Amino acid sequence: MADIINLLPDNIANQIAAGEVIQRPASAVKELLENAVDAGATEIQLIIRDAGKELVQVIDNGEGMSETDARMCFERHATSKIKTIDDLFEIRTMGFRGEALASIAAVAQVELKTRQRGEALGSYIEIDNSVVRRQEPCQTAEGTSFAMKNLFFNVPARRNFLKSNAAEMRHIVDEFIRVAMAFPQLQFSFTSNGQQVFYLEKGSLKQRVVAILGQHYNARLVAVKESTDYLNVHGFVGKPETAKKTRGDQFFFVNNRFIKSPYLHHAIMSAFAEMIPADSFPLYVLFIDLDPAHVDINVHPTKQEIKFDDEKILYAFVQSAVKHALAQFNVTPTLDFSLDPGIQQLDAVNKPFTSREQQRSTGGSLYKTFTQAHQAHVIDKSSSNLQHWKDVYEIGRSGAAARNGTETPPSPDNAPASHPTTASVIDERWQEAATDQKVPVQVHQQYILSQIKSGFILIDQQAAHERILYERYQRALQEKPMPTQQSLFPQTLQLLPADAALVSEMLPDLQTLGYDMEPFGNHTFVVRGTPADIQTGNEQASIEGLLEQFKHFSAELKISKREQLVRSMARNNAIPAGKVLSPREMQNMIDELFACSMPNVSPGGKYTYISFKLADMARMFEKGA
């Protein structure tokens, strides 16, 4: 029989490897930025066109490559970082497996310009589909410029699986942030379609965190720094008030490599226990430095999931370091006496505390109340003139009674023996409802009680309003746009780049749902109006809350973008528990709820109301008899 096992051709093998390494433009961004860092660059530029589908270019001022290295770097498993098997256990660089550039060249058109420091000429190489088209000397700046054009041009099926430009842009921003956050000592810039997205100067880690995540975090970061012989932990966590309902501001770096670790994330969450709500996520940017021999980073193609030889020690140490930092923040407030130099000139500070003054202080009644047992409540009658207080009280009470046209109430001595208890006091709204049994009543500003023929129903006001808004927004997208309430003064909304890309993607649907807003450049939007049912002056909070809810649904549910948006708006704009409603508002909510196509559950599956039948209640009371 003929042999049937054959070696794969290089171009096919490279495309298979590319399927693991290069899944989308952001994958190439990550690999190219890490190569630039490994090359010793101090200035790194990222240039994007058409969300990376047309162009991803990284320019650095690193050490560059020779003519031979420039050609060899595109071969499979060609690397300058591994020479012996022992090197695999001492990896301190970002890239090391030598498959990134070969994978990129297999699915894109590549242009490489590079020149070593001190050399007169550099090298130019042009490759597509793993085939070298041109290689020649060229004039170029010191360092390397790597341009990846027309990703997946030779694999149309893979290109069809790419998401919208806004979605791909969000992934690119995420990868850029992860590398830029890890190396604050380097300068990074990021340009997309000719517009600057980021320009990050060299600086401290705190400056880099604030530059990326926003200036409002500047005074809300708590420094974490703990060191042992085994490992070091340093970085920042956000104060409890910065916690959000969605992930996104959580960064773990091990030896400057970004990782995802649910195990270590749990350590942070346990350190924040009882300080933030259980469904919130704290901000943290933490760097863990330890011997590479204790870490296996080669367990995942993207190297974002790694293994530790002793996870329990790491968990306990990270948890302890964060707890210690938070304890210092809570227990030791900052005192700065230099703000008021006059305090140093007071007599209490300057003059000596003589023995005569000591005797005078210790002989007083105030001193005794602090030093003797059972004296804190004692009033020294000899030094107090209390006899006139009763007269003042009686005059004030009789005067108030005369103004109200009532008699003076009986003194405590003549008061009746029994007093009504708090439990016997009836809420005024229940008294009003007694006159008309169909008037709904609000219970603890959270539920609405309404009588029906067979008994009564108890409605969750927030879940019910969420269902009403959800169906209202669905009709707006399918039939008629919602009315917009124009703002007297338009507001400018400044967003983070990733959030700005998200809003740009949702903008047509947002406009249909009543938001009058448009891009204003540099991650900024002008908001001229909001849906009519949103309170005026609350535009920014409304959109920020909407983004939080949208990201929450994106992480939890596999539903369409439009469905995520409608659910997010309904949850964000629903009446919260604790809001007092008038009888008319409650009745309108009941009427609108039962006009819905599915009134019994909220969009998230929570019951909107529970019914109680008279027969069931009768049985309940009989059981208790």
Residue 280, judged by CB atoms within 10 A of its CB (0-12, 13-18, 19+), counts as middle
pLDDT over 90 percentage in the chain: 25
Q: Where is pLDDT greater, at 548 or 333?
A: 548
Mean of the pLDDT values across residues 101-115?
91
The per-residue pLDDT for 257 is 87
What is the pLDDT confidence band of residue 143, given thresholds at 50, 70 and 90?
A: very high
pLDDT over 70 percentage in the chain: 74
Q: Where is pLDDT greater, at 428 or 149?
A: 149
Tokens linked to 75: 């071969």
Q: How far apart are CA 180 and CA 212, in angstroms?
A: 9
What Å distances lie between residue 390 and 120, 171, 221, 381, 408, CA to CA?
Answer: 101, 75, 55, 15, 15
The per-residue pLDDT for 253 is 92
Question: Has residue 70 got a pLDDT over 50?
Answer: yes
> In this predicted model, what pLDDT tens digit does every residue of 185-211 receive, in sequence order?
999 999 999 888 899 999 999 999 999
Residue 304 CB partners (closer than 8 Å, separation 6+): 258, 259, 260
Q: Which of 362-366, 493-497, 544-548, 601-605 has the lowest mean pLDDT?
A: 362-366
Q: How far apart are CA 308 and CA 266, in angstroms?
A: 16
Q: How far apart are CA 598 and CA 587, in angstroms?
A: 18
Q: Concatenated DSSP letters for 146-161?
A: EEEESTTTT-HHHHHT
What is the pLDDT confidence band of residue 414, given thresholds at 50, 70 and 90?
A: very low
Q: Where is pLDDT greater, at 6 or 113?
A: 113
Q: Which residues pair with 442 in a beta bridge?
A: 448
Q: Considering only CA atoms, which of 180, 192, 210 is closest in space to residue 41?
A: 180
* Residue/partner pairs of 575-583 with CB below 8 Å, 24 or more apart: 575/461, 575/462, 575/465, 576/462, 577/445, 577/446, 577/461, 577/462, 578/445, 578/446, 579/445, 579/461, 580/442, 580/445, 581/442, 581/445, 581/448, 581/461, 583/429, 583/432, 583/439, 583/440
Superfamily of 441-611 according to CATH: MutL, C-terminal domain, regulatory subdomain (3.30.1370.100)
Question: Has residue 393 got a pLDDT over 70?
Answer: no
Q: Considering only CA atoms, which of 257, 313, 324 is closest in space to residue 288?
A: 257
What Å distances lie between residue 83 and 20, 22, 64, 87, 438, CA to CA?
Answer: 24, 25, 20, 7, 84
CA atoms lying within 13 Å on the CB side of residue 571: 22
Mean of the pLDDT values across residues 357-373?
69
Q: How far apart are CA 411 and CA 420, in angstroms?
A: 17
Residue 457 CB partners (closer than 8 Å, separation 6+): 449, 450, 609, 610, 611, 612
Q: Which of the following CATH numbers is that of domain 10-200: 3.40.1620.10, 2.40.170.20, 3.30.565.10, 3.20.20.60?
A: 3.30.565.10
Q: Considering only CA atoms, which of 64, 69, 68, 89 is closest in space to residue 80?
A: 69
Cβ pair 186, 43 in contact under 8 A: yes
Q: How far apart are CA 108 and CA 221, in angstroms?
A: 42
Q: How far apart are CA 247 and CA 270, in angstroms?
A: 16
Cβ pair 586, 448 in contact under 8 A: yes
Question: Has residue 476 got a pLDDT over 60?
Answer: yes
Cβ pair 138, 96 in contact under 8 A: no
Residue 263 CB partners (closer than 8 Å, separation 6+): 311, 315
Q: How far apart are CA 579 and CA 462, in angstroms?
A: 10
Question: Has residue 381 got a pLDDT over 60?
Answer: no
Mean of the pLDDT values across residues 544-553?
72
Q: How far apart are CA 58 and CA 48, in angstroms?
A: 9
Q: Is the pTM of this model over 0.75?
A: no
Residue 207, judged by CB atoms within 10 A of its CB (0-12, 13-18, 19+), counts as middle
Secondary structure element (H or E) that encloses residue 114, with its range: strand 109-115
> In this predicted model, what pLDDT tens digit does every residue of 445-467 receive, in sequence order?
899 999 888 888 999 999 999 99
Task: Map residue 313 onto helix, strand or coil.
Answer: helix
Q: How far apart are CA 549 and CA 565, in angstroms?
A: 8
Tokens linked to 577: 């528990």
The per-residue pLDDT for 465 is 92
Question: Has residue 180 got a pLDDT over 90?
Answer: yes
Q: Which of 104-108, 389-393, 494-498 has the lowest mean pLDDT?
A: 389-393
Q: Which residues pair with 607 in a beta bridge?
A: 601
What is the pLDDT confidence band of residue 424, given thresholds at 50, 70 and 90?
A: very low
Mean of the pLDDT values across residues 215-223?
88
CA atoms lying within 13 Å on the CB side of residue 156: 0
Spell out where 433-574 has E strands.
441-443, 447-452, 455-460, 484-494, 516-521, 524-531
Task: Map residue 444 onto helix, strand or coil.
Answer: coil
Mean model confidence pLDDT for the chain: 79
Residue 308 DSSP one-character state: E
CA 186 remoteness from chain centre: 25
Mean of the pLDDT values across residues 65-76?
86
Mean of the pLDDT values across residues 157-167?
83
> In this predicted model, what pLDDT tens digit does every residue of 38-56 receive, in sequence order?
889 999 999 999 999 999 9
The per-residue pLDDT for 432 is 46
Backbone angles phi, psi at 458, to 5 degrees: -115, 115
Secondary structure element (H or E) that encloses residue 19, with its range: helix 10-21
Q: Where is pLDDT greater, at 221 or 307?
A: 221
Nearest-Å Rg of the Cα atoms of the chain is 34
Cβ pair 283, 249 in contact under 8 A: yes
Question: Has residue 340 got a pLDDT over 90?
Answer: no
The per-residue pLDDT for 429 is 43
The domain segmentation of the chain, as residue ranges, is 10-200, 209-331, 441-611
Q: How many CB atoms lie within 10 A of CB 6?
A: 6
Cβ pair 31, 151 in contact under 8 A: no
209-331 is classed CATH 3.30.230.10: yes
Cβ pair 570, 473 in contact under 8 A: yes
The per-residue pLDDT for 348 is 59
